[in-house]
Amino acid sequence: MPELIIRRVLSNNAVLAAENCSEAGERILVGKGIGFSKKPGDYVEHGGGSREYVELSEQHRALLEGLSSIDGATFHVISASIDVASDVLGKLHPSVYLILAEHLSFAVQRVGRGETIRNSLVVEIKAVVPEEFSAAELVVNYLNTHLDSIVLPIDEAAFIALHLHAARTGGTVKQPLAVANAIGQVTAKAHRLLRTPAEAGNDALSMELALAYQRLQRKQLRHNVLLASVEKLLPHEYAVAAELLTDLSGEPQLPLSARGEAAFLAVFLHGWTQENVNKEKG
């Protein structure tokens, strides 16, 4: 591998490097400690564990140019927060150090101007990408702790989680966002059909629906030996469960293979409804 010269330190674990001082062949290089105590002009040391890189595209170059307007201290904190996510989730696509950094810098600027960041799908995104959401919460906490007068809300963690999922899987933010939207719509329908308050216990319901969606997509459906009993004893909950799963499956009617899943979901809905009734009673 040719000698690479660091052109910019993105974080302790990421640098922008090239074979010479020109922009030709620039790449984002990611590796544990690769940027620690480094400065522009230093050579990238060989060895030091596995490394990932991505050639700098025009889109990346535009993002990098935008990031140049951020003061150094803020950029350092933002980059370090991405390192935190990487430590939790493992390997992320190298471009996350530009794409997510640009997103976070904009979020920090918005909050600094007194704007409010809102995300109506926080619960659903948490259910769809729970590991990334947990890492995103750490990112938000790191930023709030290390940046003066900045308090990012939990809503921002949902946006960050989508970016982390894309960086982790090589996909886009659109796919998990579409699933979160679908979960949100089905959750709203569950509230209507079961006549429960819209804000009641959404975390548990959204998580249950997200897991059901995953099993439907993977065709890893569960058999339920108590199916007939559930249909008889909980007819309303079973009918609601069947309708919700039909919506999630994208089919015109519930597949026969999913009837066991409907029975499991019906039992969950029965308990979930009872919990909400008890909460209303105080």
The domain ranges of the chain are: 1-56, 65-171, 174-279
Nearby residues of 143 by Cβ (< 8 Å), 6 or more positions away: 77, 78, 81, 104, 108, 150, 152
Segment 214-225 shows an average pLDDT of 96
Q: Which of 93-107, 171-185, 256-270 has the lowest mean pLDDT?
A: 93-107
Give 33-47 pLDDT, tens digit per residue.
788 778 887 888 766
1-56 and 65-171 agree in CATH topology: no
Residue 279 has pLDDT above 80, yes or no: no
Residue 108 banded pLDDT, cuts 50, 70, 90: very high
CATH architecture of the domain 65-171 equals Orthogonal Bundle (1.10)
Q: What confidence score (pLDDT) does residue 59 get?
A: 73
Q: Rounded to a whole number, what is the distance in angstroms from the first to the last CA of the chain?
A: 68
174-279: which CATH number, 1.10.40.50, 3.40.50.150, 1.20.58.1180, 1.10.1790.10? 1.10.1790.10
Does the CA dihedral 195-198-200-202 come out positive or negative? positive
Residue 49 has pLDDT above 60, yes or no: no
Q: In the numeric block, which tokens belong to residue 280?
A: 């209303």
Helices 154-169 and 96-112 cross at an angle (nearest 10°) of 170
β partners of residue 16: 8, 28
The single residue listed with the structure tokens 């702790």 is 145
Instruction: Mark residue 41 as left, alpha or beta (left: phi above 0; alpha: psi -120 to 50; beta: remaining).
Output: left
Q: What confidence score (pLDDT) does residue 36 get?
A: 79
Q: Quote the mean pLDDT of the chain.
A: 88
Q: What confidence score (pLDDT) does residue 18 get?
A: 79
- How many residues are given for the chain? 282
Look up the pTM and report it: 0.85
CATH architecture of the domain 1-56 equals Roll (2.30)
Instruction: Mark residue 67 as left, alpha or beta (left: phi above 0; alpha: psi -120 to 50; beta: remaining).
Output: alpha
